[in-house]
């Protein structure tokens, strides 16, 4: 390698001009204004989760490919994962979802962990999809999971948490709707109607894609695997009735039973639910979840009941934009220190440092302008950045140590 260095330098000079400033296809750059929105979303998620006593965990983006093969939906594993062989001949997958990693972690310490377990995470996930509105190759997902409670109180809590997350973002009840169904009812719909009973998962998957298909396509797909017509106008069971009543008791009324609701993952075993955007121009599932009691036992040992959901950043960001719920931009600093000339730079740095450590302001955010441009231009720069307070350091200030702060909003000046 080292012997290639000269060749490398020559190549560098040649290639230089061709370097593209484009990111990889289907992923996003986050400039500060976008990152601030991303942080607003993450902070809101954290706040909601922690208000319900959930603790944050994390796992790696890199996982053994094997982990996803038997759990994640077939479509994702076969068509959408980033899987490759590392330099040590291991097959690695960039996680397309976090639930298998979570199940792995819970299974590994099932004897030490104190159940019920309330955990959340905000992982970055990877799917090789054709980029389009709402679909990107790298996204973040708020994941909430409650382990160790097999009764419907767990389902109720997780659905309330999903509801509360929407409210914490500022959404009104009329802005979204919670749809509810259960694996048991999905099975009932197809009971005695499938040509081959092993086709149940396939049938559920067709139902899951129903809204993306033409009615004729849907009917044809169903006819292929069923003997007699499927009736989608089934009534809720007792479990769903109880959950609806409990949610109502908690003040959550924008929720209803939907017998056609099916979630894409094989591992759901009980209740499934979806948060649906009611915007007439943009009706679509925002996110969803459900109960998956069998997943942990794939790692050996007994079943551990589990309920959870995953909420992607792209969908909620789009929702917040459409509803005008994004926060206003925040200035990058509380004070902007303008410096007349290089002679005063040391004094300016000291003033900035003192303000940063000032306990009465709880520690201010202070930026210094080292361009030595005209003071008017430096103040304009502060204004463009949205910074409210400006301090000008010239010869006089450096000598006397007397500093004034100018408020660019009110135009007032005060001594510091």
Among 43, 108, 341, 414, which residue sits at the site for a second copy (rule: CB under 8 A)? 108
Number of residues that bind a second copy (CB under 8 A): 122
Among 381, 388, 408, 416, which residue sits at the site for a second copy (rule: CB under 8 A)? 381
Asked if 332 is part of the footprint of a second copy (rule: CB under 8 A), the reply reads yes
CA distances from 56 to 82, 274, 309, 329, 378 (A): 25, 23, 14, 27, 43
**Count of residues for the chain?**
416
Among 67, 314, 326, 416, which residue sits at the site for a second copy (rule: CB under 8 A)? 67
Report the distance separating Cα 240 and Cα 246, nearest Å.
10
Tokens of 135: 């679909």
Least CB distance to a second copy at residue 162 (A): 14
Among 41, 98, 144, 156, which residue sits at the site for a second copy (rule: CB under 8 A)? 156
CA distances from 261 to 171, 182, 234, 257, 281 (A): 23, 8, 12, 9, 20
Classify 54 as helix, strand or coil: coil
Residue 128 or 323 with smaller CB distance to a second copy = 128
Tokens of 243: 């959950």
Among 29, 191, 227, 412, which residue sits at the site for a second copy (rule: CB under 8 A)? 29
Asked if 244 is part of the footprint of a second copy (rule: CB under 8 A), the reply reads no
Asked if 360 is part of the footprint of a second copy (rule: CB under 8 A), the reply reads no
By CB under 8 A, the residues from 184 to 203 that bind a second copy are: 198, 201-202
Residue 32 or 229 with smaller CB distance to a second copy = 32
Residue 269 or 277 with smaller CB distance to a second copy = 269
Stretch that binds a second copy, among 170-178, 182-190, 270-278, 329-337 (CB under 8 A): 329-337
Asked if 227 is part of the footprint of a second copy (rule: CB under 8 A), the reply reads no
Tokens of 132: 């389009």
Report the distance separating Cα 202 and Cα 139, nearest Å.
27
Asked if 311 is part of the footprint of a second copy (rule: CB under 8 A), the reply reads no
Residue 276 CA, chain-centre distance (Å), reads: 16
Stretch that binds a second copy, among 21-29, 256-264, 275-283, 313-321 (CB under 8 A): 21-29
8 A C-beta contact, residue 141 and residue 123: yes
Report the distance separating Cα 78 and Cα 271, nearest Å.
26
């Amino acid at each position: 390698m080292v012997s290639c260095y000269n060749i490398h330098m020559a190549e560098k000079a040649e290639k230089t001009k061709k370097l593209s400033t484009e990111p990889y296809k289907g992923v996003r750059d986050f400039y500060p204004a976008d990152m601030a929105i991303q942080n607003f979303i993450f902070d809101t998620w954290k706040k909601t989760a922690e208000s319900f006593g959930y603790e944050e965990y994390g796992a790696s983006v890199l996982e053994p490919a094997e982990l996803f093969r038997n759990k994640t939906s077939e479509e994702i594993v076969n068509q959408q994962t980033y899987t490759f062989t590392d330099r040590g001949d291991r097959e690695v997958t960039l996680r397309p979802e976090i639930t298998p990693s979570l199940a792995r972690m819970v299974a590994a310490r099932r004897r030490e962990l104190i159940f019920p377990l309330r955990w959340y995470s905000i992982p970055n996930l990877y799917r090789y999809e054709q980029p389009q509105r709402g679909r990107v190759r790298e996204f973040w997902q708020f994941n909430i999971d409650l382990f160790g409670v097999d009764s419907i109180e767990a389902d109720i809590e997780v659905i309330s948490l999903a509801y509360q997350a929407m409210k914490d973002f500022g959404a009104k009840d009329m802005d979204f709707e919670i749809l509810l169904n259960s694996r048991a009812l999905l099975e009932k719909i197809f009971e005695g109607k499938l040509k081959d009973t092993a086709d149940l998962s396939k049938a559920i998957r067709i139902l899951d894609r129903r809204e993306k298909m033409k009615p004729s396509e849907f009917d044809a797909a169903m006819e292929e695997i069923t003997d007699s017509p499927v009736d989608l106008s089934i009534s809720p069971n007792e479990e769903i009735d109880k959950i609806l009543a409990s949610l109502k008791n908690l003040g959550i009324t924008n929720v209803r039973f939907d017998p056609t609701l099916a979630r894409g993952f094989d591992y759901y075993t009980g209740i499934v639910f979806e948060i649906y955007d009611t915007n007439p121009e943009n009706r679509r599932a925002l996110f969803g979840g459900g109960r998956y009691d069998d997943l942990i036992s794939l790692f050996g040992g007994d079943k551990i009941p589990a309920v959870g959901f995953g909420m992607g950043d792209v969908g909620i960001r789009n929702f917040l934009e459409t509803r005008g719920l994004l926060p206003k931009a925040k200035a990058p600093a509380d004070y902007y220190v303008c410096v007349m000339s290089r002679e005063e730079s040391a004094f300016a740095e000291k003033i900035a440092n003192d303000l940063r450590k000032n306990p009465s302001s709880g520690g201010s955010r202070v930026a210094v302008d080292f361009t030595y441009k005209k003071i008017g231009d430096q103040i304009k720069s502060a204004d463009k950045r949205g910074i409210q307070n400006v301090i000008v350091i010239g010869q006089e200030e450096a000598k006397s140590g007397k500093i004034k702060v100018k408020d660019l909003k009110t135009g007032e000046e005060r001594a510091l």
